[in-house]
């Protein structure tokens, strides 16, 4: 194994890998917990729209496009106008910026707009400071944005440029967010993605972050992280809903068997390429998938890596309901807001009555899957697959 890992390191040092792999830890991600008193209120947003006109320093076209896109997303939702012609450069650039935000919820766009204006005013010393909502954390990296409103706590994977691939830090942040959501005053918790992907699974550059203890230590700590991460979904006490806004890969698919409801846009696909990657199933899918869809359909996904369309995944029981992409966000959030008005304790207790009978078994399955993966991660099959992806030779 050291040979392959050494190859990975040499490949990186030789610059053959196109993206500058992070051998150091990922920058700490800020977890924006926007509880009822902490989300960017409409007043914050209106203040920010006024303050942006008073900026002393021109923030540049790229930032202005981002402000434009966030403003439109916050006020009108996902891009809903036809794409301008190629010669209409300015409007096409604005359209592209807005469209790139995909299905980002209005509340999140509003929150990001206020944060951006706040940071611009701080750097340009404008005459009016936006007073961020009380107690809200200062803007920082928001690869994970948590908002809580209308009885729903929403955890949004917000790393669209990397198809919402999960960094090691994001696993920790999601666990923190689930912990907070289990105790806040919301009735339902949602996991969704921003951009065209729901989530492309484990960030494969995580494998390049080799600690002093070497690859064996990396595999050990990865197995501990995986087991803890999946345990949070097994034990989560409130109704947990996946709003699958686009393609889903790997662990983002396997943990769906632990959600209570899975709503998907018809653009979504569901791919678990574990053999392709020299790995094996996780997220309790080795138990939940055969239970949900039968052993042969589960084998097609988990062993042979068959990618399912949203409708196939619905037919096989992994997805609860599929919606047309054009009305997905609107229909899903209207429904979830109605569900969130139901008596929260009754929903929580009913979920636990359903889940409790399996909890012990699911924890045992999770422990077994994590141990097996710890070995798989040390295999040449796995590292060769990772090296192929990172050297941009192979995509799924």
Ligand X SMILES: CCCCC/C=C/C(=O)SCCNC(=O)CCNC(=O)[C@H](O)C(C)(C)COP(=O)(O)OP(=O)(O)OC[C@H]1O[C@@H](n2cnc3c(N)ncnc32)[C@H](O)[C@@H]1OP(=O)(O)O
CA 272 to chain centre: 16
Shortest approach of ligand X to residue 214 CB, angstroms? 18
- Please identify, using beta-carbon distances, which residue of 107 and 203 lies nearer to ligand X: 203
User: Residue 256 interacts with ligand X (CB under 6 A)?
Assistant: no
**Smallest separation (angstroms) from ligand X to the CB of 92:** 21
Structural contact between residues 283 and 230, judged by C-beta atoms closer than 8 angstroms:
yes
* DSSP states along 228-242: HHHHHHHH--S-EEE
Of 154, 192, 200, 366, which one interacts with ligand X (CB under 6 A)? Answer: 200
How many C-beta atoms surround the C-beta of residue 352 within 10 A?
Answer: 14
Contact 256, 201 (CB under 8 A): no
Please provide the size of the chain in residues: 396
- Is the Cβ of residue 147 or residue 169 nearer to ligand X in the bound state? 169
Work out which of 35, 102, 201, 239 binds ligand X, going by CB under 6 A: 201
CB nearer ligand X, residue 327 or residue 371: 371
The reply to whether 248 sits near ligand X by the rule CB under 6 A is no
Closest separation between CB of residue 172 and ligand X, Å? 10
Instruction: With contacts defined by CB under 6 A, name the span among 47-55, 105-113, 148-156, 225-233 that binds ligand X.
Output: 225-233
For ligand X, which stretch binds (CB under 6 A), given 120-128, 178-186, 218-226, 317-325? 218-226
Q: Least separation, in Å, of the C-beta of 41 and ligand X?
A: 34
Closest distance of CB 272 from ligand X, Å = 8
Q: 115, 282, 312, 369: which one contacts ligand X (CB under 6 A)?
A: 282
Of 353, 293, 339, the C-alpha closest to 319 is 293
Strand stretches in 18-58, DSSP E? 32-34
Q: At what angle do helices 295-302 and 285-293 cross, to 10 degrees?
A: 130
Residue 279 C-beta: closest distance to ligand X, Å: 6
Shortest reach from residue 8's CB to ligand X, in Å: 14
- The residues near 338 (Cβ < 8 Å, ≥ 6 apart) are none
Question: Per CB under 6 A, which region of 21-29, 232-240, 246-254, 284-292 contacts ligand X?
Answer: 246-254
> For 25, which DSSP code?
P
Q: Where are any strands of DSSP class E within the chain? A: 32-34, 144-149, 152-157, 188-193, 240-244, 248-249, 261-265, 269-271, 308-309, 321-323
Residues 147-186, one symbol each (x = binds ligand X by CB under 6 A, - = not), give ---------------xx-x-----x---------------
Footprint of ligand X on residues 102-141 (CB under 6 A)?
Answer: none
Among 173, 203, 231, 260, binds ligand X (CB under 6 A): 203
Which of residues 133 and 175 has its CB atom nearest to ligand X in the complex? Answer: 175
Q: Which of 48, 204, 336, 387 binds ligand X (CB under 6 A)?
A: 204
Report the residue closest to ligand X, judged by CB. 250
Q: Could you give the angle at the alpha carbon of 299 between the alpha carbons of 298 and 302, nearest 5°?
A: 80
Compute the C-alpha angle 38/166/389, nearest 5°.
155
The CA-CA-CA angle for residues 124, 126, 129, to 5°, reads 115
How far is 86 from 90, CA to CA, in rounded Å? 10
Radius of gyration of the chain (CA): 22
CB of 262 to ligand X, least distance (A): 17
Binding mask 1-30 for ligand X (x = CB under 6 A): ------------------x-----------
Site size toward ligand X (CB under 6 A) is 24
Report the C-alpha gap between 350 and 365 in whole angstroms.
Answer: 23
**From residue 8, how far is each of 24, 222, 243, 394, 396 by CA, in Å?**
15, 18, 35, 15, 19
| Interface region with ligand X, contact rule CB under 6 A, candidates 106-114, 174-182, 243-251, 325-333 | 243-251
144 bridge partner residues: 157
- Tell how strand 144-149 and strand 248-249 pair up: unpaired
225 contributes a contact to ligand X by CB under 6 A: yes
Nearest distance, CB of residue 14 and ligand X, angstroms = 18
CB of 91 to ligand X, least distance (A): 26
Question: CA 9 from chain center: how many Å?
Answer: 28
Q: Which residues bind ligand X (CB under 6 A)?
A: 19, 162-163, 165, 171, 200-205, 222, 225-226, 229, 249-251, 277, 279, 282, 389, 395-396
């Amino acid at each position: 194994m050291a040979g392959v890992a050494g190859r990975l390191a040499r490949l990186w040092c030789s610059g053959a890998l196109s993206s500058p792999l992070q051998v150091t830890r990922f920058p700490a991600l800020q977890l924006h917990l926007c509880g009822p008193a902490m989300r960017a209120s409409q007043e914050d947003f209106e203040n920010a729209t006024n303050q942006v006109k008073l900026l002393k320093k021109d923030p540049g076209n790229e930032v202005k496009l981002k402000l434009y896109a966030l403003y439109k997303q916050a006020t009108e939702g996902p891009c809903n106008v036809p794409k301008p012609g190629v010669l209409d450069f300015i409007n096409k650039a604005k359209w592209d910026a807005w469209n790139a935000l995909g299905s980002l919820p209005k509340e999140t766009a509003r929150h990001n707009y206020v944060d951006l204006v706040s940071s611009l005013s701080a750097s340009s010393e404008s005459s009016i400071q936006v007073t961020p909502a009380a107690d809200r954390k200062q803007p920082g990296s928001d690869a994970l944005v948590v908002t809580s409103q209308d009885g729903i706590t929403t955890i949004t994977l917000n790393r669209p440029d990397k198809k919402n691939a999960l960094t090691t830090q994001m696993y920790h942040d999601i666990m923190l967010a689930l912990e907070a959501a289990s105790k806040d005053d919301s009735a339902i918790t949602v996991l969704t993605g921003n951009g065209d992907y729901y989530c492309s699974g484990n960030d494969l550059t995580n494998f390049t972050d080799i600690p002093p203890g070497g690859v064996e230590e990396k595999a050990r700590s990865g197995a501990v992280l995986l087991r803890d991460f999946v345990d949070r979904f097994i034990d989560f006490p409130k109704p947990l809903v996946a709003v699958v806004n686009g393609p889903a890969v790997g662990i983002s698919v396997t943990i769906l068997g632990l959600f209570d409801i899975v709503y998907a846009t018809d653009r979504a696909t569901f791919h678990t390429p574990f053999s392709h990657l020299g790995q094996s199933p996780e997220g309790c899918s080795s138990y939940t998938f055969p239970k949900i869809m039968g052993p042969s359909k589960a084998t097609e996904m988990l062993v042979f890596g068959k990618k399912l369309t949203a409708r196939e995944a619905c037919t096989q029981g992994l997805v609860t309901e599929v919606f047309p992409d054009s009305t997905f966000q609107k229909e899903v959030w209207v429904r979830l807001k109605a569900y969130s008005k139901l008596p929260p304790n009754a929903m929580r207790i009913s979920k636990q009555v359903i889940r409790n009978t399996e909890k012990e078994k699911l924890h045992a399955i999770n422990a077994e899957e994590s141990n097996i993966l710890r070995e798989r991660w040390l295999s040449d099959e796995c590292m060769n697959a990772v090296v192929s992806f990172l050297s941009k030779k192979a995509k799924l």
